[in-house]
Structure 1
Amino acid sequence: MSEATEKALEVAREHLRTAQGNSEAKKRVTLAYIAAHLPGKAESIAKRYAHEQPEVTKSIGREGVSTLRAEVAEEARVLGAAFIAAVDDIEWPISDGTYSKVSPGKIHSAIFKRFHGKVDGVIGPIRSAGYTLDARHTNSVILPQYLYEEDWFDDLAQALNDLSTARRTVQAARAADDKSAVDDLWI
Structure 2
Amino acid sequence: MSEETALKFKEAKESLSVAKQALETRERAFLAAVAPQIPSHANELALRLAKQQPDITKGLGADRVKELRATIQAAALRASEDVAGANSQVQWETPTSIYTVPNAHEVHAAMRSYLRRNVAPEFIAILKEAGFTIPGSAAGPSLGSFYSEEDVTAEARDLGGALLALAKAEKAVTKAKEADDDATVNELWGD
Q: 1:180 to 1:6 in 2, by over 3 A?
A: same
The letter of the residue matching 2:36 is A
Structure 1 residue 39, shift from structure 2 partner: 0.4
- Distance in structure 1 (CA, Å) of the matches to 2:34 and 2:135: 25
- Distance in structure 2 (CA, Å) of the matches to 1:174 and 1:90: 29
Structure 1 residue 36, shift from structure 2 partner: 1.9
Structure 1 residue 13, shift from structure 2 partner: 1.3
- Distance in structure 2 (CA, Å) of the matches to 1:84 and 1:140: 24
1:45 aligns with 2:27: no
5+ residue gaps, structure 1, are: none
- Distance in structure 2 (CA, Å) of the matches to 1:24 and 1:7: 26
5+ residue gaps, structure 2, are: none
Structure 1 residue 27, shift from structure 2 partner: 2.7
> What RMSD in Å do the two structures reach over aligned CA positions?
3.4
- Distance in structure 2 (CA, Å) of the matches to 1:43 and 1:86: 22
TM (norm. structure 1) is 0.72
For 1:165, which of 159, 168, 172 is the aligned residue?
168
- Distance in structure 2 (CA, Å) of the matches to 1:174 and 1:149: 42
TM (norm. structure 2) is 0.71
Query: What is aligned with 1:104?
Result: 104
- Distance in structure 2 (CA, Å) of the matches to 1:141 and 1:181: 56
The letter of the residue matching 1:153 is A
Structure 1 residue 155, shift from structure 2 partner: 1.8
Report the 3-state secondary structure (helix = DSSP H, G, I; strand = E; otherwise coil) of the residue aligned with 2:141: coil
- Distance in structure 2 (CA, Å) of the matches to 1:109 and 1:52: 26
